[in-house]
Structure formats: C-alpha cells, structure tokens
Structure 1
Amino acid sequence: MAFTTGLKSDCETLLCRFQKTDSVRYEEFAALWREMNFSSIFYGKMGDLEKNNFTQEALTLACQYILPPYSFQIRVGGLYLLYGLYHSQLCQPKQKIRIALKDWDDLISFQQDLLHAHHYDAAFIFRKLRAVKAFHYTAMPKLLYYRTKKKIGQEAVKEEFREKPNNINEVLSTDVLEEVMNIHEHYQQMKCLISADRTQPDKALSLIKEEFVINLKNIALEHQQWWMNKTRPHLKMEKESESEASKDREEGTSFESEGSERARRLAQIKSKSYTHLAQASKSRRHRQVKMDSSESGSDREGVKKGRGRGRKRSKTCDVKTRKDLLSSRGNKVITKETSIGRPSMPVITEEEDSSSGEGTSSPEKKRARH
C-alpha cells in the first residue's frame, strides 16, 4: 500500500535512535516510543477494512526486523516495536502477527540467545506475545492470492542494521591455518635437505621469521574469540562460570581432604561405640518376666488367703468392729484387685454401707438373745 512507505521510514528512524543508545534494555526503547508518540499512527480516520489492512501491513513490516540478517540489537528493537504495535492497535479483534514456518526456528534460537545472555526483559516480551496468542502460524509470510506471482521479492535491508560480516574469520579459518602450518613444516624440511647440515637449515636460507606462522595462528584465534564474545556474550559468560566452577572445585578438594579424615575418625569412633553394646537384654527381660510371674503368683495366693480369713472373721465379729464400721460412715472405701488382668472393685457409697451394716447386725442380735 502507498502509506506503508512513510511507516517504514518512521520505524527505521525509531530503530536508528535505539541503536545509538548502544543498549538492549526495554526502558530505553519505551522512552523513545513515548518521545516520538509512536502509538498515534493508528489514530487516523479510517474505516474498519482500511484499518485492518493498515494494521496487518504494519505488523508485517515490523516482523522483518526480528529475523536475520539484522544485527542482535536491531532484532531486539524490532521485537519491542512489534510488541508496541500489537498492543496499541485499535482493531477488534486484534490483528495477529504472521509467522512463516521457515522463520520459526530463527525465532526460537533468538529466544535462547536472549536467555543465555540474561536479557530477561526481551525474553519476557517474546513470551508475553506467545502467551496472548499474538502469532499466527502460516505456511507463507504473506497472504497469497489467485493468479499472483509465486516468487516473493525480498525488500532491501538497510546496511546500518545489517550484522557486520567477519571477513577475517572467513579468510583465516581453522582449515586454512592448519594448511599453512603444514606448508611451513614442509618448507623447513626442504631447507634442511639442501643445506650442509641436515639437522638445521643454513642462515642464508632463512628468508622469513621462524615464528611467523605461530604468531599468525595465535592472532587469528584471539580475533575469533573476541568476535565470539562480542556477537554471543552468553558463551563468554558460560566459559567464565565454568572457570569459576573449576576454581571452586580445586579449592574444595583441599577442604574435602581435611573433612574426609575427620569424617573417617568419627566413623571409627561410632563403630567402636556400637560394637561394645551390652548383648544381655534378652536374658534380663526373661528374668524380669519370671520375677513378675512369681510376684503375681504370690499376690494371688495372698488374695485367696485374705478372702478365707475374711469369711472366718465375719462370723466371729465382735461389738468393737461393728462400732468402727459404723463410725466410718460418710467415707468412701475403694478396694482393688491385685491379680493381673482383673478390673477394680466398685466404689461403696453411704447407702450400700448402711445396708451392709444392717445386714451384719441382724445375725448378731439373734445370737445375743440366745
């Protein structure tokens, strides 16, 4: 559409200002968004159909900035731009972001890079868009119509936003360095063959420095490491964490050696203390059971004897015992069985005591009359 040309220039202006901040924080982008009042692009007088088409074109335009070959910072800015456009649109229901199947793998790897680099604000924005189901998964990035060209033309990428290629790594790759090392070794062997001393070449044949190839290899490896740390900082953080973990392990080995000796000594002391425990617990229990059984038998015999004597004494009870029984009225008498497993005797109340007293006095009166 004709009005998407101005929208593209506005998006590039916003991303250029975000690139100058040299940051990927959402706070910086939100400040630029509010400063440019970028959400007002949807406030024009448009009908429903025109509004839907314009929103879909804006989302499609912003979606291309989160895909390669743009740099990492521009891709993060494009993600923030896509988030702002999706939530500031005026369409009901909201227009979704078309994502082709071939581009989804790039987005997933981009999300992993954000998490590894600890850019949690950008990772949260991407997860938020997935949570609200803002993406529409399609087979093609643009909608196809009948009798249209199958080949979709690629739009020109701004060179400032493109990720800068690493030409040094392309020229001096690992294979090239190995080949140079092999050529240099063969060159040294040939000089030794044509020299007088076969063990080492003559000084007249030393046209280059001997350490040239080694220095070239070291410089190329250092540059590759620097480029890797710059483009993918999460790999650098992982290596630093691994080095710190190795240092902690080295320091922990000394402490573990001392702790292992102390633990071994404590284990020996415990084993000695447990081996000297008394083993006569069963015999003691057996003796205790026998004593209890003997005591219980003597108690039973005493109870039987007490019952027989009580019967004889009840027949020969005199007047003094009757007076003692009568004087003990009002008190509670509790008797217990001493035999094992038998319940205790019930409590004798005053009424039962009086009735028992009256029952015992009647036969004595009869004897006194006789």
Structure 2
Amino acid sequence: MTGHVAQGSSSPALKAPPTPWPTRRLGPFEVSAIGLGCMNVCHAYGEPLSEADAARLLLAALEAGVTHFDTAALYGFGLSEEWIGRHLAPHRQRFVLASKCGMTGEPDERGVKVRVIDGRPATLKATCDQALKRLRTDVIDLYYLHRWDKRVPIEDSVGALADLVRQGKILAIGLSEVSAATLRRAHAVHPIAAVQSEYSLWTRNPEIAVLDACRELGVAFVAFSPLGRGVLTASPPDPAAFHPKDIRRAMPRFAPEHWPRNLRLQQRLAALARQAGCTPAQLALAWVLARGPHVHALPGTTRIDHLQEDLQALRVQPEAALLAELDATFTPQAVSGARYNAQGEDEVDTERF
C-alpha cells in the first residue's frame, strides 16, 4: 500500500505513482494537489449515485491521476467507505487514502440513523476498526477527527488516534474544522499531518488564523467544498429545486433572503473566468491553490466531466492582479448569510469573522 511510514519519521515524503498533475505534501505523503472528496457520491446532496456509477467515477479519478481520495465513516453512514473498499482496494498501491472518525450515524429511538458526534477514545478506536473492514485495507494513510467533540478534551481524542498510529492501523493524524488554538493543543500531543476545513472564495474563515498556524507547524491544509457547494461553478444550484435530503436546504446562504446577493457574486466570478480563459470552477480552484504551497483542494462531484474539468484547474495560473480582484470581490462581508445554521455553527471549532 501507498505510504507505510510512521508519522514523524525522518524518511522523505512518500510519493504516489507518477501523476500528470502537480503534487503537494500531505503529512508523510506526496499527492496530487487536487484530490477527490467522496461525500457527494452517497451523502448530503440528495439521492446517492448507483454503486455502478460511483465505481465509474472513482476509477475515472484514479485513471486521471488523482492520488488523494478522502472519505469518512459519516458519508452514507459507511457506504462511501464500503464502495471505496469494494472498487479501489485492488488498486490500493496507487493512492493515498484518507478517512474520518468522530462523527458517525447512530440509530435514534425510532431506529433511524442520525448524525452523532462522539470523540471518546473507545468510540474512535471502534470506528477505525469498522472502517478498516469497510475499506478492505489493513491501514488508513491519514485519519481525521471529523469534528472535535467539545465534551472530550482534544488531548484525549488525539491520544486515541496516536494509539492507532502505534498499533499500525493508521499512519498519520488529521483534524477537521478546528481553530488554531485547538490545532496547537493537539499538535503538542502528537504531530498533526493535516487540517481539513471548508475554504473557498466564499468561505474564508481559515484566513483568520488556521492557515498561518498550519504553515508555521508544517501541517497541510486541505480545503473541502472549494467550489462553494456548487455555487462557484458555471451552473450554480437552484435552491428551490434542492432534493428534500439536500443539506444545503438548512444553510442560510441558500435561503431566499441571502441567495440573490450570493448569486451576483457567482456572476462576477463567471465574468472574471471568461476573461482568464477558463471556467469558474477552474478559477475558484486555482485561487485556493494559490493561497500557499501547503494548501490542497478537495472538490467532490458525481460527474466524470466535472472531475476532468476540476483537474484542469492545475493548468491555470492566475496573474496576481486577477487574484487580488477575486480577493476584493469575495470579502467575508460581501457574502450573505452564515455558512451553517445555529446547530452547525455550534458543532465546529473554527474561528469566525
């Protein structure tokens, strides 16, 4: 499998097989600068793909040169991990595998699975064992704490993940949606390889402190939803047509009182992309990658043509003046509405403007 090096080892970064795309360091690994987030195939934005279509997408990404695949126990309540295990396990040597624990689906009193945040050490270790079975692998390259359970000291949760490193079940530790202060506390317990948080033109909270903290500590920063949950593309979603299960229905930025203002921002992005000779998605991804050599972009998609379009962002090199215009257009004050509802905001530890 790709990358059997203990975190903190003096060994050089492990490289995935040759890829046509630029690579960046992700903990002890070297991966394609744009990875594939594997939530969309079965979770969050409506009905999941069929397994056959999901398999085609995963294999297309692999063949296109993606060497960083990211999933979680939460996605489809284990389904994303199952599909990756079933269809990518035969190619395990060709990519770096990331997954997450600490947020899973548990049955409520009606027997319906609901999202639960649980960072207790025993829970994290049990989730890892279940994930290894679903993923059909003996080691997860990068394992994130999906959300910090604020009832459990971060030192205890990271200590459990450090035990998994020592047991050889995972190779590196990541954190998701944490503040710079929490990152520093965790890093004092065990080296943190990566922080994964929402980051895009319309979600710039990491610029408050976490981006700089990651740079200082030598931690990779992985930007999820770098396309603004579909907004920063040539075909932004229609909130009125969202599937009943689409999580964006509960996000204020898509509400009627906020959406028209945000759509005008997308229209400005589209105009700038035309001037640059690329698509809006490519320009948005290129902006993310220009934030620093330690920054990775992790878009998700259900379509192979969108996957191929996203990867071409690695060929886009925006001029400094264009990047500055994007910065000035997409200020935190220009975006209307919070990124999560009140419950979602309470569940994350990230700094806020």
The structure where helix makes up a greater share of residues is 1
The structure where strand makes up a greater share of residues is 2
Query: After TM superposition, is the score higher than 0.5?
Result: no
* TM-score where L is the length of structure 1: 0.24
Which has the bigger relative contact order, CA under 8 A and spacing at least 6? 2
